[in-house]
Amino acid sequence: MNCWYIQDAQFKLNEFIAIFKNLAYTDYSALNREKSSVVTAPGCLNIRTRLLADEIVSQIATFKGWMQQKRYSPNTIRTYIDAVQTFFKYYHRKHPEDITNVDLDEFNSNYVLRNGYSVSFQNQVINGVKLFYTRTYSRRFEVEKVERPRREHKLPNVLSKEEIAALLAAPANLKHRTMLSLIYACGLRRSELLNLKPEQVDSKRHLLLIINAKGKRDRVVPISDKLISLLREYYKIYKPKAWLFEGMTAGTKYSEKSIQSVLKQALKQAEIRKPVTLHWLRHSYATHLLESGTDLRYIQELLGHKSSKTTEIYTHVCEKSLQKIKSPYDDL
């Protein structure tokens, strides 16, 4: 069942939890209550180890191939496949053709909500199951009748310019410094950085061409003389071939895990204790542009947003706009 096993006599739950703290979620709900002295959480179902029928495995493989042909992004394919597999493992004793809207509602109530899974996971399951049934059984779920979670309205996390300067100056390694600088200076997503090729840097026109980004859209963003100088210095030393940023082996793409480690180390060196992610740099880029007077329409184009409403969230965290507001407290 693709699992590691530990002998019962050697297993100590407290030590296990301590080792995997901050690394993985520990579901101990299936352990014997008398042995573990742990109260089982209600609704925790360990369905990941359940095996699917060969027919469903084949259908999911066909579904995956169809998404690849339709050029869905690797992340979307991975997310939908995982969501569909989880859904069918929950209903492992029920044939897919017998599953209805009622079952999808029951899954959301008794599995997603009771286990405290996120809003995004709930929507991913609904979208994945809907697409699977449309493609495999030519049957549409009445999604409008499925209880979707209320949409979250989270503000983007933004670093100050001083924090950005400290973060970008922290790495001693030139490649690491160049990657972080490029993400901030051009407002890139992580995948956009890792998919860059050397020929996408047009130093004469001071432009960076971003190809096949989110939503299958291309865009161009300006790059400054300062950034071009940094890229030239990097290029002379590392001489990348296939990808602008390559891994330990020439011609291989730099990994997502490695760039996350680069950021983590830079944060430590810069003594920034906020839970910063790479996407914070993109948020900071957009917010700092807005604060410097750049029109919102241009920021939308630079970020590659399809809708202006997506870009408008940065107006809620723009420091200069907020500072103009005078509190009535000051007039007391």
Other beta carbons less than 10 A from residue 304's beta carbon: 19
Contact 155, 284 (CB under 8 A): no
Catalytic residue, from 50, 197, 206, 214: name it: 214
- 206 classed as catalytic: no
- 189 classed as catalytic: yes
Catalytic residue, from 282, 283, 285, 288: name it: 282
Query: What is each CA distance from 205 to 144, 289, 328, in whole angstroms?
Result: 48, 21, 50
Catalytic residue, from 177, 190, 283, 305: name it: 305
Catalytic residue, from 89, 130, 197, 279: name it: 279
- 283 classed as catalytic: no
Catalytic residue, from 176, 177, 189, 283: name it: 189
- 177 classed as catalytic: no
- 234 classed as catalytic: no
Q: Which residues are catalytic?
A: 189, 214, 279, 282, 305, 314
